[in-house]
Amino acid sequence: MKQKIYWKNGFYGTPVEGGVEISIEYWQELLDGQSAGLIIVENEKGYPILKEYEPTLLELKARKIAELQAYDSSESVNSFSIGNVSGWLNNSTRVGLMNSISIERESGRSETTIWLDDAKLVLSIEKAIDMLQQIELYALACYNTTQGHINAINQLETKEEIEAYNFKTGYPGKLSFFG
């Protein structure tokens, strides 16, 4: 005799009043499907079936914004080059460098050293300040672009609009400096 279990409103067990009877084998199929990313729902007769999860519009927007933020943090946006060296200076590093370079200038130095990843770059004080200002303006423009995309994504009303939205547009061209 095959053992049976009962299903009702997302709960299973031995005889459940008003529940539908399912086999242990079918229950295992449901569990296997759930492990593969499907969800267990009930059909119109209360019988448990497997179905693909359909995210809500809010979840789709959150996913799209997470993809946008990953792009915004990537080398596709956060990089510039000096000669043949590429890299990025985060906000706190840029602020720290600007303060240090200003102190160097006030003390009468004419050159400064900036490290871009493992590359040592010796630049004139004026060139370094100009470069840091341009990078800061570039970073601000990228920030504004990203925030504009977040706002646009939050205004979308359908799954199709969210899926089709291209957040890789509108960013300024990457900066390139000569050593």
Please, are residues 177 and 81 in contact by the beta-carbon 8 Å criterion?
yes
DSSP states of 140-169 as a string? HHHHHHHHHHHHHHHH--SHHHHHH--TTS
pLDDT, position 127: 96
Q: Is the pLDDT of residue 1 over 60?
A: no
DSSP states of 85-129 as a string? EEE---HHHHHHHHHHHHHHHHTT--EEEEEETTEEEEEEHHHHH
146: tokens are: 């990203």
In 3D, which of 65, 125, 112, 119 has the Cα closest to residue 89?
A: 119
CA distance to 23, 59, 60, 124, per residue, from 158 (Å): 39, 12, 9, 53
- % of the chain with per-residue pLDDT over 90: 77
pLDDT, position 7: 67
In 3D, which of 178, 179, 175 has the Cα closest to residue 88?
A: 175
pLDDT, position 101: 98
Mean pLDDT of 49-69: 96
Instruction: Using pLDDT thresholds of 50, 70 and 90, give the confidence band for residue 67.
Output: very high
For 95-123, what is each residue's pLDDT tens digit? 999 999 999 999 999 999 999 989 999 99
For 117-176, what is each residue's pLDDT tens digit? 899 999 999 999 999 999 999 999 999 999 999 999 999 999 999 999 999 999 999 999
- % of the chain with per-residue pLDDT over 70: 92
Instruction: Using pLDDT thresholds of 50, 70 and 90, give the confidence band for residue 11.
Output: low
Please, are residues 153 and 162 in contact by the beta-carbon 8 Å criterion?
yes
pLDDT, position 23: 84
> For tokens 């997470």, what's the residue?
66
CA distance to 23, 29, 41, 168, per residue, from 34 (Å): 17, 9, 10, 34
pLDDT, position 61: 98
Kindly report the backbone phi and psi dihedral angles of residue 136, in degrees, each rounded to the nearest multiple of 5, phi listed first.
-65, -40
43: tokens are: 């059909």
148: tokens are: 């504009």
